[in-house]
């Protein structure tokens, strides 16, 4: 049994970063990963402009200005946002300016309106400003030709704003990994089928497709596969033709009908991991198929128990998908220390994950264990949770009020 951290490192080693890029329209780029660095087509800001509502002045004119000795300047014009100034500011003059408006030539400083007084066509400056105060200089945020953003960045709201501002209408992104999902088991039926004794609904198919999508990849749901070697062989071959990552649930333990590892070997896959020291989830198969166009298709054989399938997906498949997606950094899960509000118990042999809720507090975070049985087959109390508390190998009990590492899962 491989320790969890070693399994994660080994899996990440097996995953290659994407090399190809595709173009998507700007309004479809949310959640995608930038495939190339984007050079700025223009200076940001595009021109010197005002950061405040006030008056554009020449600093030399207002040195020594104070409430007792105000400096009177003659107004030239009002410069609204979206228009160019029509005349320079000459010595003894000022222009009324609004936030974001272009600075007129001659002016080098903004005096905020709060320290002025209007008197007809004149403005009285009642305080000496710092030189260049409240001027945003052309190119001070980014110069034309310099990179705006680098490859490997996840595109969210701020990144879309930058792309839109740079008028980048077609965005180069990495292709999303396609993830085939197979559920193995003779007991499984679709949710629209009336249940016969001994049958259960293939709930993993839905949960795993959702997690694949949340990880930024494309789920390819391939349905239920019977516990027969030939059915499994055909399903894996179908999956290989349609996806670059395959996730199957069930059939990886040592039961009489657990054929996954055997069929993988037969189909020419290399088995890298067969079990990991985690609970839930000990049986976990990780294999690769011979590379097609540079990247080797990856196979994750997850345990079938609903909680085990999801926990192993969060812990081991998500990092692999993040790397395969082309994210530049932070593939692994995030762990935060949290104070547990309940006693946490574990066997001590395997890294143990207990599900519950992580809540921010004034001092950091606290963890509340989900009520009900912590059994890998109990999918009911997993609903509504947002985190897994981790009890490390060698620890059998964490007392209430102690700090544990917690992995966020949503």
Residue 285 contact, options ligand AMP, Mg ion, none, Cβ 5-8 Å cut-off depending on partner type: none
**Euclidean distance between the first and final Cα of the chain, in Å?**
28
Q: Smallest distance, Å, CB 266 to ligand AMP? A: 19
- 203 touching ligand AMP, by CB under 6 A: yes
List the x/- string, 260-299, binding to ligand AMP by CB under 6 A: ----------------------------------------
Pick the closer one to ligand AMP by CB: 62 or 235. Answer: 235
Q: Smallest distance, Å, CB 283 to ligand AMP? A: 7
- 303 touching Mg ion, by CB under 5 A: no
Cα separation of 162 and 49, whole Å?
A: 19
Name residue, tokens 């030709």: 145
CA dihedral 111, 112, 118, 122 (to 10 degrees): 20
- Choose one: 22-30, 185-193, 339-347, 393-401; the region binding Mg ion (CB under 5 A): 185-193
Please give the helix or strand (H or E) that residue 390 lies within, else none: strand 387-391
- 85 touching ligand AMP, by CB under 6 A: no
Closest CA to 256 of 282, 228, 233: 228
In a 3-state reduction of DSSP, which class is residue 204? Answer: helix
Pick the closer one to Mg ion by CB: 113 or 203. Answer: 203
Pick the closer one to Mg ion by CB: 217 or 225. Answer: 225
Cα separation of 239 and 180, whole Å?
A: 6
DSSP 115: G
- 253 touching ligand AMP, by CB under 6 A: yes
Region 179-198 residues binding ligand AMP, contact defined as CB under 6 A = 183, 185, 187-188
Q: Smallest distance, Å, CB 251 to Mg ion? A: 5
- 306 touching ligand AMP, by CB under 6 A: yes
| Apex 238 CA angle, 258 and 301, nearest 5 | 35
CA dihedral 275, 352, 251, 203 (to 10 degrees): -150
CA dihedral 199, 201, 202, 203 (to 10 degrees): -140
Q: Exposed, middle or buried: residue 161 (CB in 10 Å: 0-12, 13-18, 19+)? A: exposed
Q: Smallest distance, Å, CB 351 to Mg ion? A: 24
Residues in the chain: 410
Q: Smallest distance, Å, CB 185 to Mg ion? A: 4
- 283 touching Mg ion, by CB under 5 A: no
In a 3-state reduction of DSSP, which class is residue 379? Answer: coil
Radius of gyration of the chain (CA): 31
Among 54, 216, 250, 356, binds Mg ion (CB under 5 A): 250
**407 contacts 315 by C-beta, under 8 angstroms:** yes
- 280 touching Mg ion, by CB under 5 A: no
- 255 touching ligand AMP, by CB under 6 A: yes
Pick the closer one to ligand AMP by CB: 89 or 225. Answer: 225
Distance set, CA 79 to CA 59, 92, 179, 302 (Å): 19, 18, 55, 65
- Choose one: 63-71, 178-186, 261-269, 345-353; the region binding Mg ion (CB under 5 A): 178-186
Residue 104 contact, options ligand AMP, Mg ion, none, Cβ 5-8 Å cut-off depending on partner type: none
The residues that touch Mg ion, with contacts defined as CB under 5 A, are 185, 250-251, 304
The residues that touch ligand AMP, with contacts defined as CB under 6 A, are 183, 185, 187-188, 200, 202-205, 249-251, 253, 255, 303-306, 377
């Amino acid at each position: 049994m491989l320790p969890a951290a070693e399994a994660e490192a080994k899996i990440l080693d097996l995953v290659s970063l994407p090399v190809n890029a595709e173009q998507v329209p700007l309004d479809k780029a949310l959640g995608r990963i930038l495939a190339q660095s984007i050079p700025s087509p223009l200076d940001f800001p595009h021109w010197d402009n005002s950061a405040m509502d006030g008056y554009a002045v020449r600093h030399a004119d207002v040195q020594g200005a104070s409430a007792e000795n105000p400096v009177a300047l003659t107004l030239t014009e009002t410069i609204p946002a979206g228009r160019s100034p029509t005349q320079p500011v000459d010595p003894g003059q000022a222009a009324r300016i609004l936030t974001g408006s272009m600075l007129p030539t001659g002016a080098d400083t903004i005096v905020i309106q709060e320290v002025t007084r209007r008197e007809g066509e004149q403005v009285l400056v009642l305080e000496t400003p710092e030189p260049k105060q409240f001027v945003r200089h052309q190119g001070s945020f980014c110069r034309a030709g310099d990179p705006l953003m680098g490859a490997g960045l996840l595109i969210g709201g701020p990144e879309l704003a930058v792309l839109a501002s740079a008028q980048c209408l077609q965005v180069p992104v990495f292709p999303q990994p396609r993830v085939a999902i197979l559920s193995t088991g003779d007991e499984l039926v679709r949710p629209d089928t009336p249940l016969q004794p001994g049958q259960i609904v293939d709930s993993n198919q839905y949960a795993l497709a959702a997690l694949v999508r949340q990880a930024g990849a494309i789920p390819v749901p391939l349905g239920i596969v019977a516990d027969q070697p030939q059915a499994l062989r055909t399903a894996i071959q179908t999956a290989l033709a349609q996806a670059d990552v395959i996730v199957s649930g069930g059939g990886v333990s040592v039961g009489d009908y657990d054929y996954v590892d055997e069929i993988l070997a037969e189909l020419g896959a290399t088995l890298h991991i067969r079990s990991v020291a985690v609970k839930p989830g000990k049986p976990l198969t990780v294999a690769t198929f011979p590379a097609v166009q540079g990247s080797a298709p990856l196979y994750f054989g997850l345990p079938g128990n609903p909680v085990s399938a999801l926990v192993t997906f969060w812990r081991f498949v998500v990092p692999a998908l993040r790397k395969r997606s082309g994210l530049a950094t932070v593939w692994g899960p995030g762990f935060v220390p949290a104070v547990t509000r309940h006693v946490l118990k574990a066997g001590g042999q395997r890294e143990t994950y207990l599900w519950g809720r992580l809540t921010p507090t004034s001092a950091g975070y606290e963890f509340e264990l989900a009520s009900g049985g912590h059994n890998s087959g109990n999918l009911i109390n997993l609903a509504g949770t947002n985190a897994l508390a981790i009890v490390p190998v060698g620890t059998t009990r964490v007392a209430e009020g102690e700090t544990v590492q917690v992995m966020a899962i949503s």
